Amino acid sequence: MNLIQALYIKNRTYQVIGALVFFFVLGFFVPFFFNMARVGFFVFLAFFLVDFLMLFRFKRPLVIERTCSEKFSNGDDNEVRIIIEHVFPQNIRLRVFDELPVQFQERELQFDLDLNPGEVKTIRYNLRPVKRGQYEFGFVNAFASTFLNLVSRRFKLGSPKEVAVYPSYIQMRKYELLAISNQLTEYGIKKIRRIGNNMEFEQIKNYVSGDDYRKINWKATARRGGLMVNQYQDEKSQQVYSVIDKGRLMQMPFEGMSLLDYAINASLVISNIALKKGDKAGLVTFQHKVQSILPASSRTMQLNLILEHLYKIKTAYKESDFSKLYITLKRKVTHRSLILLYTNFESLSSLQRQLQYLRKIRQQHLLVCIFFENTEVSDLLSKPASDVEGVYVKGIAEQLAYEKKLIVKELQSHGIHTILTPPKELSVNTINKYLELKSRGLI
């Protein structure tokens, strides 16, 4: 970077120059102003040179480093830090601009700070990506000025960096820790205790509120003088498949993210929970055809394989073909499994076209159909209608909401488990359903 590129004239300098020009012009009529302008010019030139020398006498007086994770979590706040160190012998003012990836469409992110001699400061800010893929950071630009504030020196430091945005591993870790520490209820997740339907005895323990009284061991109770119950071991190694519909109805956005990305995040969460519970996790994605299938497994690398598959998911949002899904599941998934189908139905007629294939899948597997509430419709229903147009709009919204309830009833009438959920609560409600089905011994 040459001197011209690094030098920026401050607005204050232009203001002083303008004032001097005014007095020079006025001096043609009043000599006193001409002499004052000439003195002012030399004073200004002296300050300008002093300011220039304070900023430019060091070749590399500023060190800036951007640090962040190699992978960002989609839909979550990811921290970025900019570490700044300088060797100026005087206080300086900095205005820092970070060149963010184009996906964020953010051009006004700036930070103003004052630095004492030799001081090191760290700028922290968060970025929330809403799409998976490669994101590229540019340089960090800094404009330094002194207390005179006549000129500014530009620094273009740091280095471009690529960051991969993966499905929400932050959300996955959060729910994993909550499950391990039995704090799921604090986040609205119903902790359901396993009764032991497989009748595989594990141990005798003290009775606590909520235990099934039918499991009381009366002989042990008589010996210990307190209620004792038999505890049975959870049935393990069941297959849990996350089946993701990549069709056009999954393109609908909510808070910047598509329904498809919400389904991807939830699939990662539930796969991790299933593996922690001793089950096998697998993955299937489809739209006009089945495009990927990862067989269910409980091996050590399975979660990483699922994460990489979810990261690479691409779609043209074509019309979903549930017949191809049924054929693939029949051929590839030969053992009875829990099928968590992430899809979306906006009308009862759209469900009717696919119902025959869903019923066939249910005959072979435990099928849970997961689809989404339209949150905009819910917002309309919560607002009172103030005019005739509002009455009509609210009436249409009620009809759409009622249609979703009809879809739920239709699926349940055919023995298909359903989850109708707002996108934001998808992971929570999916974990709830999984724990419920395990507690009932259905998987």
pLDDT of residue 393: 78
* Residues in Cβ contact with 116 at an 8 Å cutoff, skipping those fewer than 6 apart: 91
Mean pLDDT score, 7-11 = 58
Note the pLDDT tens digit of each residue in 426-438: 998 999 899 888 8
Q: Which amino acid is at 213?
A: Y
- Please indicate whether residue 19 or residue 435 has the higher confidence score (pLDDT): 435
pLDDT-derived band at 7 (thresholds 50, 70, 90) equals: low
The least confident of 10-19, 116-125, 411-420, 427-436 is 10-19
Report residue 229's pLDDT band, with 50, 70 and 90 as the boundaries. Answer: confident
Residue 207 — pLDDT band, cuts 50, 70, 90? confident
Confidence of residue 194 (pLDDT cuts 50, 70, 90): very low
Nearest residue to 410 via CA among 360, 364, 320, 349: 349
Is the domain spanning 62-166 CATH 2.60.40.10? The answer is yes
For residues 47 and 194, the model is more confident at 47
For position 197, what pLDDT does the model report?
46
CA quadruple 421, 423, 429, 433: dihedral positive or negative? positive
Asked whether the beta carbons of 407 and 351 are under 8 A apart, the reply is: yes
pLDDT at residue 196, rounded to an integer: 40
* Per-residue model confidence (pLDDT) at position 312: 92
Least confident stretch, 35-49, 144-158, 192-206: 192-206
* 169-194+234-439 has CATH 3.40.50.410 classification: yes
Can you give the pLDDT at residue 195? 41
Percentage above 70 pLDDT, the chain: 83
On the question of pLDDT at 172 being above 80, the answer is: yes
User: 228-239 burial by CB neighbour count: b if 16+ within 10 A, else e?
Assistant: bbbbbebbeebb
Instruction: Look at residue 164 in the predicted model and tell me its pLDDT.
Output: 95
Going by C-beta distance under 8 Å and a sequence separation of 6 or more, which residues neighbour residue 61?
A: 86, 87, 88, 144
DSSP label at residue 74: T
Question: Who has greater pLDDT, 52 or 100?
Answer: 100
Return the closest-CA partner of residue 224 out of 203, 202, 206, 201: 206
Residue 19 confidence (pLDDT):
62
Mean pLDDT of all residues in 80-107: 90
Look at 25 and 46; give whichever has higher pLDDT. 46
Question: Is the model's pLDDT at 345 over the cut of 50?
Answer: yes
Task: Calculate mean pLDDT across residues 378-386.
Answer: 78
- Angle between helical axes of 169-180 and 426-439 (0-180°, round to 10): 40
pLDDT value for 193? 44
pLDDT given at position 233:
58
* Beta bridge partner(s), residue 253: 258
Question: What is the pLDDT of the chain when averaged over all its residues?
Answer: 84
